[in-house]
A and B are shown apart, each in its own frame.
Chain A
């Protein structure tokens, strides 16, 4: 699909999956990001088979002279035990599920809502565009964490609440992005041609415009997951997100905060996991952007 006088496309098409993978493999950060992301997805999927213990079981032998086991001191508890005698490694493994679930769930919600509204806004323009974009402006005006926190606080705590509260804030950015894509693409000749032969608006949006605007949306989705993992961890750390005894990384840090000076590993092991997951999705997002839009390579 070449472009004629309407100028350059924002994201040039990749001609094959092979080309995509070749470009990805050349960039070390992208490969590192992809490996990290795949690793965490694998851990989340196979958690019950990998974890040596139940994440909630309080072991009788989980203490060493009244204190939690430090990491690498007891073969039964490789990363040690926490203040309640639970296995840290198992909690860490099951915590992966929560982080990824909230990351993917909230961003899926935000992406579906954002893309649908962005498509409509960009395609039909005029009053509909005006109305949707004003709502976007309002959502974007709030410091996002404060709005998410207030929404969470108004509802019952739980995973679904997190999907909703985070999604309802993050769709706005997606809508703005999708709209800008639609505005560029709908001026192209092939869309005019489709309209001229009488193809319906819905079909044009879904079959002609959407497939050509996915690239920046995927990039934004990947970066969004990184951001949401951070938000979930922060909320759970403040006691407003996932509730104990569900093992979330943020909950783990919150619960063991009081033991920080005694057993810093209890706080810093889950912290490292959060940072690694965020890093993985950020690197992957950066890398995808470079691959999908070579003009931005090496920036930001």
Chain B
């Protein structure tokens, strides 16, 4: 187990290095030169030259990269072009908000997705099955911003139950969390259903039934456990999806998280902030995938790490 963990960590290293390269390139190659953006403030050439030197923009690119990584490792992602605040502080404030709404969305997706998928599988080929799967398909095809606007229209305007946006009480959380949770819930329902259908055909399920166990116990205790492996895999990949989805959702509900921050930063061409978000979100995904891989062994003791 320890050996596996170590090996898995070693494999993650080139990925993390690659992530830093991509984040670096985003800022230093694609937009041309950060100075072009700052020039909008019309500085005189002397000041520009001084600033360039101060920021190290005239150094060879590999030196700039090394400096970028050295700073990033120490938690220094530079300063926002616009507010002048350290990107680290901005991230530290935005990240908890994103984690909060994502966690609730995740919870909603599990509470909805797994039971619905199980229900559809148990009623295979019935109207209940078709209906549930149609709902799941709709949940996957509807753009998140459309879901958000629809919920706003319904609950923010017609039935004035929840606030239209903002942050603070749990009431503010309801609509964003539901919007963000619908897509993963739909995916989970589909995966749970297909996994469950597979398991229900197995011999041991027939044995469990024929020895007279109640259907609830057969499904809940015998079958569900064995459908969990693909479900957990999908749940792992959903973290990346949640972070992607949170961008639009946060922007619509004025939720002060990382997604909202990145949309504003991109519109304002505030690249250090964009870079910070890109870097941090990718690292989060890598770490969580690592945890998911390791968790397989706890869920299914048959899986050996070698």
Seen from chain A, the residues whose Cβ lies within 8 Å of a Cβ on chain B are 134-135, 137-139, 141-147, 149-155, 226, 230, 233-234, 237-240, 253, 257, 260-261, 264, 267-268, 271, 274-275, 278-279, 282-283, 298-300
Taking CB atoms, residues of chain A closer than 8 Å to B269 are 153
Taking CB atoms, residues of chain A closer than 8 Å to B191 are 300
Taking CB atoms, residues of chain A closer than 8 Å to B19 are 138, 141-142
Complex: chain A residue closest to B244, CB-CB: A145
Among all A-B residue pairs, the 5 with the closest Cβ atoms: A138-B18, A145-B244, A153-B266, A154-B30, A143-B243
Per the bound structure, the CA–CA distance linking A146 and B241 in Å amounts to 10
Taking CB atoms, residues of chain B closer than 8 Å to A145 are 244-245, 247-248
Contact with A along B198-236 (1 / 0, CB 8 A): 100000000000000000000000000000000000000
Cβ of A112 to closest chain B Cβ, rounded Å: 21
Per the bound structure, the CA–CA distance linking A149 and B30 in Å amounts to 13
Query: Which of A146, A155, A234, A271 is B243 in contact with, Cβ under 8 Å?
Result: A146
Cβ of A133 to closest chain B Cβ, rounded Å: 10
Using known A-B contacts A141-B19, A155-B30, A282-B141, determine if residue A149 contacts B157 with beta carbons closer than 8 Å.
Answer: no
Contact B282 A278 (CB under 8 A): no
Taking CB atoms, residues of chain A closer than 8 Å to B294 are none
Complex: chain B residue closest to A135, CB-CB: B18
Query: Which of A139, A154, A267 is B26 in contact with, Cβ under 8 Å?
Result: A154
Query: Which of A261, A275, A283, A298 is B143 in contact with, Cβ under 8 Å?
Result: A275
Taking CB atoms, residues of chain B closer than 8 Å to A253 are 145-146, 149
Contact B266 A149 (CB under 8 A): yes
Query: Which of A142, A230, A278, A300 is B285 in contact with, Cβ under 8 Å?
Result: A142
Complex: chain B residue closest to A279, CB-CB: B141
Seen from chain B, the residues whose Cβ lies within 8 Å of a Cβ on chain A are 14-15, 18-19, 21-22, 26-27, 30-31, 137-138, 140-146, 149-150, 152-153, 157, 190-191, 193-194, 197-198, 240-241, 243-245, 247-248, 251, 259, 262-263, 266-267, 269, 271, 274-275, 277-278, 281-282, 285-286, 289
Cβ of B92 to closest chain A Cβ, rounded Å: 18
Complex: chain B residue closest to A280, CB-CB: B141
Contact B149 A267 (CB under 8 A): yes
Per the bound structure, the CA–CA distance linking A155 and B191 in Å amounts to 37
Taking CB atoms, residues of chain A closer than 8 Å to B267 are 153, 239-240
Taking CB atoms, residues of chain A closer than 8 Å to B150 are 268, 271
Cβ of B85 to closest chain A Cβ, rounded Å: 19
Taking CB atoms, residues of chain A closer than 8 Å to B143 are 230, 233-234, 237, 271, 274-275, 278
Taking CB atoms, residues of chain B closer than 8 Å to A278 are 141-143
Taking CB atoms, residues of chain B closer than 8 Å to A142 are 19, 22, 240, 278, 281-282, 285
Per the bound structure, the CA–CA distance linking A22 and B246 in Å amounts to 42
Using known A-B contacts A154-B30, A238-B251, A253-B146, determine if residue A146 contacts B262 with beta carbons closer than 8 Å.
Answer: yes
Complex: chain B residue closest to A137, CB-CB: B15
Taking CB atoms, residues of chain B closer than 8 Å to A283 are 137
Taking CB atoms, residues of chain A closer than 8 Å to B271 are 154
